[in-house]
Structure 1
Amino acid sequence: MMRSRLGLCVLGLLCLHSSVFGQDAAQDPTGVLIFCDDPSVERAAHSAVSKFNEGMSTGHNLALFQILSARKSENGADSVYSLRFTSRKSDCLAGSNKPWTDCDYLPHGRKEPFTCNATVYMTETEADTRQVDCRFENVIIPERASCLGCPQDIDENSEDLKVPISASISKYNTISNSTHLFSLNRVGYATRQVLAGFRFKLSFDMKKTVCAKAEHNDLSELCGHDEENLEFANCNSTVDLAPWRLEAPLAEVQCEAGSMPPTVLKRRPPGWSPLRNLEYNNPAITPSPSNPTAPPPPKAAKAKEESSEEDTKASKPSASPDAANNNPFHCPSKPWKPFNPISSAGPMKDPTEATPAVDGGFKDTDLIGA
């Protein structure tokens, strides 16, 4: 009888224990859900993105896109925020002193945002990100494994672009049907790849100058933009360059009328000119006596802006900017900034894609024995 009563008591205690701890297990141990658009949550997310960018050494820094969920718990005097958010590549290069909040989203390349998780300890005045991870899926993370021989983004204001941009513009002026010379207006994006030499992929636009081809063989400091009769041309080019071989750069350009979309324009620094300090005379871009007026190159497909949309796989937002408020906790939050991706044909495709070698240019096989 005693054993039976003892067994019933143990069974009762086990049931009570299961009931109490079952309730606790049903609750998330990382805290209670809070609003995604709460100012404290936004401050925690900003701290997490900044912390992640501190570890970036190459490529582009990330910028916050949306906050997907947020939980809050207490740990002594600190409030602990557990966040899940998405981010996108910004147009600010890693290692720069420019804060990501002053950057815009990179309009080309990957369109889906990256999913990130973070734990941030916060007081009323400070935010301390203890852990932040972003899922890059198949994207190589430079600080963990560098990609030798892959195209690398370079700053659009880099002095290294003077020669390849000058070669591209000279090639265009040689083969175009325009009566006037064109000169650089703005640079969109640029990448550099190390093969047997350097391969540059560029996106830029130009303005018509006051210099007529009948009177000027090439651009000079006198060839200012014709502001009274504006005419633009935007181009994508691939330039192979090996300065140590004392060879002229080889440029392949595809151009069309009109300026570049505003989302990819970046202003060149004051005083920067591709006409200065040139070390090469490029015979490869001089028209031959038998064919002084070469036909224009095939036009690239016109870049078109896609409608701003959010990734349905990650955050599944609504098309309406205010639709996020239908969620009890306003999750996901509104995008930090509108994202307007661009897609185009030709060299403006993803810069990480391989580019066929031009005739007489560098090839991947040149690396053998180099």
Structure 2
Amino acid sequence: MDVIPGAWRRTAKGAGLLSPDGEVAPTIFAEMSAAAARTDSVNLGQGFPDEDGPAEVLEAARDAIAQGINQYPPGRGIPDLRAAISEHQRRFYGLTVDPDTEVLVTAGATEALTATLLALIDGPDDEVVVFEPYYDSYAAAVALAGARLRTVPLRRPDFQPDLDGLAAAVTDRTRVILVNDPHNPTGAVFSPHVQAEVVRLADRHDAVIVTDEVYEHLSFRRPHVPIATLPGAAGRTLAISSAGKTFSTTGWKIGWVHGPAELITAVLTVKQYLTYVNGAPFQPAIAVGLRLPDAYFVDAAAAMLRKHGVLGTALQSAGFEVFAPDGGYFTVADATALGGADAAAFCRSLPERVGVAAIPLSAFATPENQSYYSGLVRFAACKRIEVIEEAARRLTALR
């Protein structure tokens, strides 16, 4: 019995979600985390922090539980969190967002993304344009929605897209242009020229812009600029973010999406049949987090940049070529000089060799484009400084 329907199998296999023989393949993240546990390695593979978030936010969650906020919250999210999201967008970006009709709270950014694509895709002729390499759930969500994935490669050293290549990828079949900025896994922050071209192409081809901005407060060289703030963009943009990266609460899975009311209603129509609602006592806690003083957000970015600095220095000393990130959790390095031209094989050997786990960048690319990222490895910097320093000590064995 073929329990995976043919259409899904074909789409998923093309997106690299199934093995060549059509079986469901475990993700590289699960594989490397298991290897890290088996070898007692420092896990710089998966991007989750090993430090708690701000005390005010944690205490607010405890208070909410103690006060009995433990049942289903409203389908759109509790009013105070939706108000805090609206206030946050005005405070940091000057965006006016109606908390009652233009904000939807979700089970993390991943659900927001999946519900958005399921709501917007009309059929198999629709295409979703993404920058490659890409967060792995993008291909899965596009496959679930039954659309075609079109990729625009980001090339070293700056990981900015070629604008002619972007223009060629976006056509009248494009339903969604999906932009992750700051970008996972490369750490790139897209230039104003790239952002402006995304808006121009979306307008020309009547596409919806969907932005994944979960690293918005971890932009190191310049303040984050949401595409929705650009002229003509707000009316066709759905902006997604979450609390996990900003407040080191990845396990709480509190995300949100905001945009034009009619688009949010479409996303809600799907979302209510996914998780329905989630995280009742965590929602008021994240409202507290979004209202923290500016100093918290400035200090969080500075602390992450310092961790990248320690990690980058260690990688250079070990013989890697390092591409310093402009934002986010991850540092990308080229292992070719260390015999790691096949980054996947290199990463699979790393736990046994030196006790460090990392992820090959090819894991974030479609099968036909993986050669573009040969030798490139992603390391997570979102760990305690002493953990990064221990990883640095171990990596010296590669020299």
TM over 0.5: no
User: Which is strand-richer, 1 or 2?
Assistant: 1
Larger radius of gyration: 1
Give the TM-score category using the shorter length: under 0.3
TM-score normalised by structure 1 residue count: 0.23
User: Which is helix-richer, 1 or 2?
Assistant: 2
TM-score normalised by structure 2 residue count: 0.22
Q: Work out which structure has the larger RCO, using CA pairs closer than 8 Å and 6 or more positions apart in sequence.
A: 2
